[in-house]
Amino acid sequence: MEISIIGSGIAGITTAFYLGEKGYKVNLIDPKINSSINNLNPQNGSQAALGVLMGNSYKRSKGRAFFLRNKSMKLWKEWINKINHNESNLELEKPFIKLANSEKEYQSMINISINKKKYGIELLDNNAIDLWSSIFEKKIIGGFISHNDGRLNPIKLIKSLLKSLDQININKIENHVISISKNTNDNNKKWKILLDNNQYINQDYVVICSALNTQKLLKPLGHSILLEPILGQVIELKLQDQTTNWEKWPAILNYHSINFIHHNPDHMIIGATLENGTQASLINKKKMLNMNNNAPEWLTKSRINREWKGIRARPINEPAPILKELEHGLLINTGHYRNGILLAPSCAEWIGLKINEDSIKYKY
Ligand SMILES: Cc1cc2nc3c(=O)[nH]c(=O)nc-3n(C[C@H](O)[C@H](O)[C@H](O)COP(=O)(O)OP(=O)(O)OC[C@H]3O[C@@H](n4cnc5c(N)ncnc54)[C@H](O)[C@@H]3O)c2cc1C
């Protein structure tokens, strides 16, 4: 049985990894599959991501969104061991700390700390609150620490996964998919993929992981999937010398809906804005930089070292992510919006289980 995956962002490469490990013959198709991997000039949404994994501190304890997060946190733990190579240096950096911005938010944190205690969530103690109040030059009401949430560096992650794909013989095809159609001849492979070099490949299964391009590929097949672009800006700041001795900075600190990553003694990454469309707005960037007029001095005095932006695909009229078998052999794994890195392994597993279920049903 042969499967083609369209798109080599995090959704596509994790799906390829899962299926390849199960022994399927997999083609991974993307014109950017061999491009350099970096966040300054990201080739896709995945390379622009911060890599925050907030699976345990998710407020719900049931339902699809909870299940996918919970499963992913478990799978990432296993996968990190599997995909780590000598030079990868890949680890789930922990913990994650969120500071409350209002009394209402703090009340909801109290509930999370009660309901999610077994997932490693607890309220910050007074010493921690004092520390963060002094760092942010403002009396912080409260916050929580999630000991098992944190960050996976997306660039290291993508590089490691791509290397693992070579080891399990995934066939990488550096082309753009022009269209997908059904085979009408006797060929027992149901799907026909047209590449931009005018070549056709016949497949038993097609898995679409092409983010915003998904709607264009599906329309001729009569399927309507609507996605919209939400841009995110990320800034790396060079801090002043006196602020570089913050030893207790967690992997991720979230305050005023901004993620702070103190990834090197005098550098801080902050992100990411949520902007409708594909054009970055200076106003949104300034709002993030001054934390909606709440920025402490170390932030206002820092200077921009590097900055980048990326696009997330958000489903319209349905929850993220979109995981569907549209018809036999045609599956989609896309529209992860803000949590594509977090959700990637559980979504890849969903696709794998669906194909496995089918292969029993249709006796491949
Ligand atoms: C600034 C920013 C910060 C983020 N931070 C986080 C975070 O902290 N945590 C988290 O979990 N998520 C985060 N995200 C979200 C996450 O990055 C996305 O949800 C995720 O990258 C989606 O992955 P994807 O594979 O679906 O899409 P993409 O990474 O966009 O990949 C889609 C791929 O499909 C290919 N493609 C498209 N059309 C075709 C075609 N016709 N033929 C072949 N290939 C095609 C493209 O070339 C592209 O490589 C962030 C996103 C942004 C932009």
Which tens digits make up the pLDDT trace of 223-271? 999 999 999 999 999 998 766 678 789 999 999 999 999 988 899 999 9
- As a whole number of angstroms, the distance between CA 28 and CA 174 comes to 8
Asked if 105 contacts 81 with a C-beta cutoff of 8 angstroms, the reply is no
Cβ–ligand 1 contact at 315 (below 6 Å): no
Fold assignment, 96-151+228-315: D-Amino Acid Oxidase; Chain A, domain 2 (3.30.9)
Q: Please give the number of the atom of ligand 1 that sits closest to the Cα of 46.
A: 21
- 70-88 pLDDT tens trace: 999 999 999 999 999 888 8
* pLDDT-based confidence at residue 363 (cuts at 50, 70, 90): low
**DSSP H or E stretch at residue 267:** strand 267-271
Cβ–ligand 1 contact at 208 (below 6 Å): no
**pLDDT recorded at residue 104:** 97
Specify the DSSP class assigned to residue 211. G
CATH architecture of 2-75+154-226+318-361: 3-Layer(bba) Sandwich (3.50)
Q: Could you tell me where the DSSP H helices lie in the chain? A: 10-21, 45-48, 64-83, 103-115, 126-136, 154-167, 214-218, 282-289, 297-300, 340-361
**pLDDT recorded at residue 86:** 84
Region 155-174: mean pLDDT is: 97
**DSSP H or E stretch at residue 2:** strand 2-6
Query: Would you say the pTM of this structure is higher than 0.75?
Result: yes
**pLDDT recorded at residue 87:** 87
Residue of minimum CA distance from atom 22 in ligand 1: 340
Cβ–ligand 1 contact at 321 (below 6 Å): no
- 327-355 pLDDT tens trace: 999 999 999 999 999 999 999 999 999 99
Name the β-bridge partners of 259.
254, 271
State in Å: Cα 49 to ligand 1 middle. Answer: 8
Asked if 170 contacts 28 with a C-beta cutoff of 8 angstroms, the reply is yes
Cβ–ligand 1 contact at 254 (below 6 Å): no
For residue 195, pLDDT beyond 80? yes
State in Å: Cα 211 to ligand 1 middle. Answer: 6
Residue percentage of the chain with pLDDT more than 70: 98
Mean of pLDDT over the chain:
95
- As a whole number of angstroms, the distance between CA 238 and CA 246 comes to 14
**pLDDT recorded at residue 364:** 52
Cβ–ligand 1 contact at 42 (below 6 Å): no
Region 23-43: mean pLDDT is: 95
At residue 328, φ and ψ (nearest 5 deg) are -60, 120
State in Å: Cα 230 to ligand 1 middle. Answer: 11
Domain boundaries defined on the chain: 2-75+154-226+318-361, 96-151+228-315
For residue 308, pLDDT beyond 90? yes
* pLDDT-based confidence at residue 319 (cuts at 50, 70, 90): very high
Cβ–ligand 1 contact at 8 (below 6 Å): yes
What type of residue is 61?
S
Residues 152, 155, 158, 164, Cα dihedral to 10°:
-90
Specify the DSSP class assigned to residue 12. H
**pLDDT recorded at residue 186:** 63
**pLDDT recorded at residue 360:** 77
- 115-141 pLDDT tens trace: 999 999 999 999 999 999 999 999 999
* pLDDT-based confidence at residue 361 (cuts at 50, 70, 90): confident
Cβ–ligand 1 contact at 275 (below 6 Å): no
**pLDDT recorded at residue 248:** 81
For residue 23, pLDDT beyond 90? yes
Residue of minimum CA distance from atom 2 in ligand 1: 49
Cβ–ligand 1 contact at 55 (below 6 Å): no
What type of residue is 45?
G
State in Å: Cα 336 to ligand 1 middle. Answer: 8
User: How many CB atoms within 10 Å of residue 6?
Assistant: 24
- As a whole number of angstroms, the distance between CA 9 and CA 210 comes to 8
Determine the residue of 210, 276, 346 to mutate for testing ligand 1's pocket, defined as the one with the most ligand atoms within 8 A of the Cβ atom.
Answer: 210
Residue of minimum CA distance from atom 15 in ligand 1: 338
State in Å: Cα 81 to ligand 1 middle. Answer: 23
* pLDDT-based confidence at residue 310 (cuts at 50, 70, 90): very high
**pLDDT recorded at residue 328:** 93
Q: Please give the number of the atom of ligand 1 that sits closest to the Cα of 343.
A: 11
Q: Encoding tokens for residue 315?
A: 């489903």
Cβ–ligand 1 contact at 334 (below 6 Å): yes
Region 204-225: mean pLDDT is: 97
State in Å: Cα 103 to ligand 1 middle. Answer: 34
Cβ–ligand 1 contact at 340 (below 6 Å): yes
